[in-house]
């Protein structure tokens, strides 16, 4: 029995460690220039500055599982300034298929500088795309049959530079 448990843990650690991920390219709208005003009698004209481009996130259609954490009843009404907070975790699906692909997006407050996903003692960093947005897309390799059709808890950890963290644990099924 202990050997089977050790194999399960080793296999899951192998699976999580073998997930190949790459940063998700977040679509950026092209900057548009406003036309210059019609010249007047003054010798110089100043063009209206274009508004700064804003990033749009990957369309929601790419994420079939959306989780928005709710504060616990014992939580204080207002978090401390600069405290980390996970606003939303979006996954391609609540069931991970091996072999297959996975997409993850974590929305946080702007104070968060790093987000990781932890399970079975393994940690995967989720790259920051812009302040408050962390995302990756990866390939899940095939895993041994005895690791499939089980539910695994994945802990998402958001951290700020001073070391404070916010944690959210999600159960995901591996098929």
- The whole-number pLDDT of residue 153 equals 96
- The whole-number pLDDT of residue 154 equals 96
What is the CB-side half-sphere exposure of residue 137 using CA atoms within 13 A?
9
Mean model confidence pLDDT for the chain: 75
- The whole-number pLDDT of residue 159 equals 98
151 or 45, greater pLDDT: 151
- The whole-number pLDDT of residue 171 equals 95
- When pLDDT is averaged across residues 133-149 and rounded to a whole number, the result is 94
Which domains are assigned to the chain? 2-25+54-72+80-174 (2.60.40.1930)
Least confident of 23-37, 76-90, 112-126: 23-37
Through-space distance between the first and last CA atoms of the chain, rounded to whole angstroms: 23
Contact between 11 and 146 (Cβ < 8 Å): yes
Query: Is residue 81 pLDDT above 70, yes or no?
Result: yes
State pLDDT tens for residues 36-80: 444 444 444 444 444 433 334 444 558 899 999 987 666 666 678
How would residue 17 be classed by pLDDT, with cut points 50, 70 and 90? low
SS3 labels along the chain: CHHHHHHHHHHHHHHHHHCEEEECCCCCCCCCCCCCCCCCCCCCCCCCCCCCCCCCCCCHHHCCEEECCCCCCCCCCCCCCCCCCEEEEEECCCEECCCEEEEEEEEECCCCCEEEEEECCEEEEECEEECCEEEEEEEECCCCHHHCCEEEEEEEEEECCCCCEEEEEEEEEEC
d(CA 158, CA 108): 8
54 or 153, greater pLDDT: 153
């Amino acid at each position: 029995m202990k050997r089977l448990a050790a194999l399960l843990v080793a296999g899951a650690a192998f699976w999580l460690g073998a997930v190949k991920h790459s940063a998700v390219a977040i679509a950026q709208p092209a900057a548009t220039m406003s036309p210059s005003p019609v010249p007047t009698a003054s010798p110089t004209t100043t063009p209206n500055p274009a508004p700064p481009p804003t990033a749009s996130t990957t369309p929601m259609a790419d994420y079939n599982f959306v989780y928005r954490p709710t504060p616990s009843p014992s939580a204080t009404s207002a978090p401390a300034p600069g405290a980390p907070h996970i606003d939303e975790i979006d996954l391609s699906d609540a069931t991970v298929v091996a072999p297959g692909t996975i997409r993850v997006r974590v929305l946080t407050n702007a104070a968060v500088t790093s987000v990781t996903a932890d399970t079975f003692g393994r940690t995967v960093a989720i790259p920051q795309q812009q302040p408050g947005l962390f995302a990756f897309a990866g390939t899940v390799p095939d895993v041994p049959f005895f690791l499939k059709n089980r539910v695994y808890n994945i802990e998402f950890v958001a951290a700020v530079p001073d070391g404070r963290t916010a944690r959210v644990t999600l159960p995901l099924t591996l098929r």
